[in-house]
Amino acid sequence: MSGFTEDAGGSGARPAPRAAGWRLATAAASSVLGTAAVLAGLMALVNRPAWWRGLLAAAVVNTLAAAASVPLLAWGLRRGLMTAVAGYFLTAAARIVISIGGGLLAIYGGGYPPLPTLLLIVVFYLVLLAAETTVVARSIWSAAA
């Protein structure tokens, strides 16, 4: 991971621009909405009620995960390279706790179907991960260059 810090020289050589926070929020919101739309299309074809319920639970859980991770990531990006990387690792842990914890709560507390809920949470999780990672990697690169 030398590419992250080789130009940083401490706790952050040059902070990423403020716009990175907005890019992050937009990317996260787009990923949630886009994934929900694509999965809803697939659910319409499959037409199984259990999967619709799973999609609802997964969308809610993933929205919570995105809402928790975006502010932390945006804060890290504004403070500098090292903080951005540290924030990324923190949000990785927070995202998975919310995703898995929320999924289990929905299944055992809300009675949502286990397999669709967990599988769709993983799909949402991976898309959100890709969206956030893209913005963070671009911001780190542009700050380090």
Residues that bind another protein (CB under 8 A): 1-6, 82, 85-86, 88-89, 92-93, 95-97, 99-100, 104, 108, 118, 122, 125-126, 129-130, 133-134, 136-138, 140-141, 145
The answer to whether the beta carbons of residues 23 and 77 sit under 8 Å apart is no
Tokens 């397999």 belong to residue: 115
Residue 41 or 89 with smaller CB distance to another protein: 89
Residue 22 or 141 with smaller CB distance to another protein: 141
Residue 45 or 112 with smaller CB distance to another protein: 112
Secondary structure of the chain as H, E, C letters: CHHHHCCCCCCCCCCCCCHHHHHHHHHHHHHHHHHHHHHHHHHHHHCCHHHHHHHHHHHHHHHHHHHHHHHHHHHHHHHCHHHHHHHHHHHHHHHHHHHHHHHHHHHHHCCCCHHHHHHHHHHHHHHHHHHHHHHHHHHHHHHHC
Residue 41 or 111 with smaller CB distance to another protein: 111
